[in-house]
Amino acid sequence: MTVSTVDADARSGGGRLLLTLLLPIIFVNVIAFIAPVANLVAMSFREATATGSMKEGMDLATWSSLVGDAYYWSMLWRTIWIGALITLVTLVLSYPLALFVSRAEKAKALLIVLCISPLLISAVVRTYGWMVILGDQGFLPALLRSFNVTPPRLINSQLGVVIGMTEILMPYMILSLLSGFGKLDTTLEQAAETLGAGPLTVFRRIVLPLSMPGVLLGCLLCFVLAVSSFITPKMLGGGRVALLATEIYDQAIVTLNWPVAACLSVLILIVFGTALLFYGQLSKIVE
Amino acid sequence: MPKISRGFHALCIASIMTFLLAPVILVFPISFSADAYVAWPPSAWSTRWYVALLHNEEMVTAFRNSLIIAACVTAITLIVAMPAAVALTRWNFLGRDALTSLFTAPLLLPSIVLGLAILVIFAGYGLVGSWPGVIIGHLVITLPYALRVLITGLSTMPAFVEDAAGTLGADPWRVFRRITLPLMTPALVASAALAFIVSFDEVVISLFIAGTQLKLLPVSLYHYVESWTDPLVAAVSALLVLGTLGIVLIVERAIGFGKAVSK
């Protein structure tokens, strides 16, 4: 950064001005981010009594009751594998679309806006759209019945959650993939084709390896969002698909057991951390 | 590429695009259904659910509250993020990068965890269900977006213009007001739009801290869908999609949305 007047000013005692400029944002982050998160982690070491109040002192009682409960283990695995499945389906659907958009000559900007703008629409509205499509009287069952096909259970099921989440997360995946495709040089593909490689070989040997960083980033993003999302599984799962995030809400708002909700929150953060570690290792291999 | 495989390719792309946009598009025909419940195809068409919406006191109040909250959050976001962005781009100090990462960190945290964390601490101060409580809760997630856009805007802006004005005798405040601020307008418009949409659409954090007293539109919609199956929510959804489209067009006019995201 070039030295500007403000820079020069900063050295001659502008430290107070700098602090003034940063103070509001520090204030907001301390009272609504740092303190609450620290407090939440501390809360996971407390224990709730039957009346809903909190016992004095901190111990591992809540943690050990969770670890000993098979219900939470199965929920953790379900959360992870549904998250992984959603990530995979999202990748498979987003890849060809992102490739097409990045190569489009006409109306590229419009195509990007179309792919990304669903992000700007509330998850409640988009999930409601899926209820309209997948519901028992919805669009898709009606379509299937007109072909004399008995529709499977699309709503209040894991299938519904996977379909809805895939669509919700596609814009994130497309964005990540587009950033990866930006580095792709089409002359490499042309060279390979001239040398006699078929389209499949070109894809497998050139396009796919070069786009791997974008793929990994998109998968990380989708996985962590799938694991932590709550609205869509709640609305499309209809209470039948118990995941970590939906359980956190139930414990915090319905059962009012904050220590358990806090433990599950820390658990989600651990899943996040593990996903990040995996991402770091895989990125190294790719490069 | 051979013709058949090309046609197949185009068909695949079109189907995926349809899948991506289907839920947003289908709320429009359903919102004009005359039926008492969501069913496809509607037995008849009408605008009864739009009329019902106007007479639904909870939705109207929630819509008004959400607009007010989003407007307040947007204004405060700009007032807080703008000086921070200037400080983080125009000053060189120890721990600058660490601070920048800290300020964008709330975006990395799952909103369900953030919502719960804020609920637990705000409950102790009676901030749950209060206007200041909700505004602060929203600020935590609008600030990182605004900060990122503003920092990008400021660091791509040539600093020599500011230097020139300084050399010609303008004091720092004058430089900021006459040079920096006008050049920042596109970034300011973009971050304002983003902050407004993020706050207006935020549902998870609001679900935790708005409580039952303060009605907000996404929360009311969520609760409505939980207990009712009529197309009222489709009417609200259709209006929200149109509103979002309007904001996107404004931003497109101001800076070019496609350009902003493709970079």
What pLDDT is recorded for position A52? 65
pLDDT band for position B257 (50/70/90)?
low
| pLDDT of residue B223 exceeding 80 | yes
The rounded Cα B85 to chain-centroid distance in angstroms is 19
C-alpha span between B185 and B193 (Å, rounded)? 12
What pLDDT is recorded for position B75? 97
Across the interface, whether the CB atoms of A2 and B24 are under 8 A apart is answered: no
Give the residue, A8 or A203, on which the prediction is more confident.
Answer: A203
- B228-233's contacts with Cβ under 8 Å and 24+ in sequence apart are B229/A135, B229/B37, B229/B38, B230/B36, B230/B37, B230/B38, B230/B49, B231/B30, B231/B31, B231/B33, B231/B35, B231/B37, B231/B38, B231/B49, B232/B49, B232/B52, B232/B53, B232/B56, B232/B59, B233/A128
User: How close A150 gets to chain B, by Cα (Å)?
Assistant: 16
Torsional sign, CA A94, A100, A105, A111: negative
Q: Do the domain assignments include residue A55?
A: no
pLDDT in tens, B110-151: 999 999 999 999 998 989 999 999 999 999 999 999 999 999
* Highest mean pLDDT: which range of A180-194, A213-227, B83-97: A213-227
Across the interface, whether the CB atoms of A109 and B203 are under 8 A apart is answered: no
What pLDDT is recorded for position A2? 43
| pLDDT of residue A10 exceeding 80 | no
The residue of A3, A17, A20, A22 whose CB has the most chain B CBs within 10 angstroms, and thus the best one to mutate to test that interface, is A22
* Highest mean pLDDT: which range of A126-130, B8-12, B259-263: A126-130
Residue span of the structural domain in which A138 resides = 70-286
Annotated domain spans of chain B: 56-227
Q: Which residues partner with B45 through β-bridges?
A: B33
C-alpha span between B235 and A125 (Å, rounded)? 10
Residue A121's identity, in one-letter code, is I
The token pair at B16 is 């995926």
C-alpha span between B237 and B18 (Å, rounded)? 18
**Helix (H) or strand (E) segment spanning residue A141:** helix A139-146
- What predicted TM-score, i.e. pTM, was given to this entire model? 0.87
A143 to chain B: closest CA residue: B40
Q: Do the domain assignments include residue A224?
A: yes
In this prediction the ipTM stands at 0.86
DSSP result, B135-158: HHHHHHHHHHHHHHHHHHHHHTS-
pLDDT in tens, B24-64: 999 999 999 988 888 888 888 989 999 999 999 999 999 99
B56-227 sits in which CATH class? mainly alpha
Give the residue, A131 or A54, on which the prediction is more confident.
Answer: A131
User: How close A174 gets to chain B, by Cα (Å)?
Assistant: 11
Give the residue, A196 or A83, on which the prediction is more confident.
Answer: A83
C-alpha span between B188 and B254 (Å, rounded)? 10
Q: Do the domain assignments include residue A248?
A: yes
C-alpha pair distances (Å), A82 with each of A93, A161, A175: 16, 9, 22
Across the interface, whether the CB atoms of A36 and B118 are under 8 A apart is answered: yes
Q: How many domains does one find in chain A?
A: 1
| pLDDT of residue B191 exceeding 60 | yes
State whether residue B99 sits within 8 Å of chain A by CB. yes
DSSP result, B55-106: H-HHHHHHHHHHHHHHHHHHHHHHHHHHHHHHHHHH---TTHHHHHHHHHGG
pLDDT band for position A33 (50/70/90)?
very high
Task: Say if residues A218 and A172 touch (Cβ distance below 8 Å).
Answer: yes
Instruction: Give me the residue from A35, A229, A252 closest to B119, CB to CB.
Output: A252
Give the residue, A37 or B172, on which the prediction is more confident.
Answer: A37
Q: What is the DSSP letter of A155?
A: S
Helix (H, G, I), strand (E, B) or coil at A191: helix
What pLDDT is recorded for position A31? 93
Q: Do the domain assignments include residue A62?
A: no
CB pairs under 8 A between A and B: 266
Q: Do the domain assignments include residue A19?
A: no
Other Cβ atoms within 10 Å of A62 Cβ, number = 23
Here the CATH number for the domain that contains residue A261 is 1.10.3720.10
Across the interface, whether the CB atoms of A129 and B201 are under 8 A apart is answered: no
pLDDT band for position A150 (50/70/90)?
confident
User: How close B161 gets to chain A, by Cα (Å)?
Assistant: 9
